Amino acid sequence: MMAAGMDPRSSWTRTTLQDLERSLFGPGAGGVVAVQAGEVVGVVGFRPDGAATLTLNKLATLPRVRGQGVGRALVAAVEETARQGGYARVLLAVSQFNLDVLPFYAALGYRRTDEPYAHASPHSPPPVVLVRSLGGVG
């Protein structure tokens, strides 16, 4: 994650391998990786949060593949998983240290919400919470 250029003030610096494994591979959770030429160049996780919401988390791509559609494809994979699972929406949180990604999510149809983020780190500033309705699902 740090290789993807995460700000060192973010909660990523406090994320252990065990945290990442639990988030991506724990009960009910899942993840998708993007691979180019045998190298992982992007990753995203997801987990259910209630009957209607699938939460997208830990999206990261290597800087050298940005602008090539890798992040967009990873988000689309989570949205497809949500649709197949009968979820009505996808929710995510953006760190206050990573606000430069807000236009990326806005272009994908995500909008700010005042909802609290259940998985926010108590050691970090409150994140910006975004949500996208999947329309007709759920």
Q: What is the mean pLDDT of the chain?
A: 84
DSSP string covering 30-76: EEEEEEETTEEEEEEEEEE-SSSEEEEEEEEE-GGGTTTTHHHHHHH
Give yes or no for a contact between 90 and 78, defined as CB atoms under 8 angstroms apart.
yes
* CB-CB neighbours of 26 under 10 Å: 12
* pTM exceeds 0.95, yes or no: no
Give yes or no for a contact between 104 and 42, defined as CB atoms under 8 angstroms apart.
no
Between 137 and 92, the more confident residue is 92
The sign one gets for the Cα dihedral 73, 2, 106, 137 is positive
- Specify the 3-state DSSP secondary structure of 93: strand
Question: Would the pLDDT of 138 be above 50?
Answer: no
State percent of the chain over pLDDT 90.
48
Least confident of 28-32, 92-96, 131-135: 28-32
The residues spanned by each domain of the chain are 2-133
Provide the β-strand partners of residue 90: 54, 132
pLDDT, residue 122, reads 84
Q: Which CATH superfamily is domain 2-133 in?
A: Gcn5-related N-acetyltransferase (GNAT) (3.40.630.30)
Instruction: Render pLDDT for 30-74 as a digit per residue (tens, 0 to 9).
Output: 888 888 998 888 888 899 999 999 999 888 888 889 999 999 999
